[in-house]
Amino acid sequence: MITGIHHATFLSSDLARSRDFYEGVLGLRPSPDRPAMGFDGMWYDVAARQQIHLMVLPNPEAGLVRPAHGGRDRHVALGVDDLEALRAKLDQAGIAYTMSKSGRAALFCRDPDGNALEFVAC
């Protein structure tokens, strides 16, 4: 039986730039549990037994044109307790986002490598 989503993985071309976004804008903290691997990366604890993994590896989809609205693309949806506070942080950082087309209290943005993220008010 599936018990939840353990982690979501995103490719990063520039770990420092990605860390600025995931740590500086989203407020995530690095997990100390990432083992030594043959490539650079970062793990973030999001909730109990849930993580986001960044991997610095070549992007097999480089040059692919992504939809303007992240909801029309592959994405992971993350729950947030204060959507307005997140909007303010995105505005302050100059990060573009779109509100959910369904009318739900949710927004979509992209990380520095174009990975789509949805944030849903919980």
Q: What is the pLDDT of residues 65-112, one digit of tens each?
A: 999 999 999 999 999 999 999 999 999 999 999 999 999 999 999 999
Query: What is the pLDDT averaged over residues 30-58?
Result: 93
Query: What is the pLDDT averaged over residues 11-35?
Result: 96
Distances (CA, A) of 14 to 20, 24, 66, 122: 10, 15, 19, 31
Residue 19: inside a domain: yes
CB environment 27-51: b (16+ within 10 A), e (fewer): ebeeeeeeeeeeeebbbbbbeeeeb
List the domain range (segments joined by +) for residue 44. 7-59+67-121
- In which element (H, E) is residue 83 found? helix 83-93
Residue 11: inside a domain: yes
Domain count, the chain: 1
How confident is the model at residue 30, as a pLDDT?
95
Residue 71: inside a domain: yes
Residue 39: inside a domain: yes
Residue 2: inside a domain: no
Residue 1: inside a domain: no
CATH of the domain at 31: 3.10.180.10
pLDDT, mean over the chain:
95
CA 113 to mean position of chain CA atoms = 10
Q: By percentage, how much of the chain surpasses pLDDT 70?
A: 100
Per-residue pLDDT band for 48 (boundaries 50, 70, 90) equals confident
Residue 106: inside a domain: yes
How confident is the model at residue 3, as a pLDDT?
85
**Residue 70 amino acid letter:** G
Residue 85: inside a domain: yes
Sign of the CA dihedral with 120 first, then 70, 49, and 90 last: negative
Residue showing tokens 């779109």: 98
pLDDT at 31 over 90: yes
Distances (CA, A) of 61 to 11, 29, 51, 117, 121: 10, 28, 23, 17, 30
Per-residue pLDDT band for 16 (boundaries 50, 70, 90) equals very high
Q: Report yes or no: 117 and 70 within 8 Å, Cβ to Cβ.
A: yes
How confident is the model at residue 17, as a pLDDT?
97
**Residue 4 amino acid letter:** G
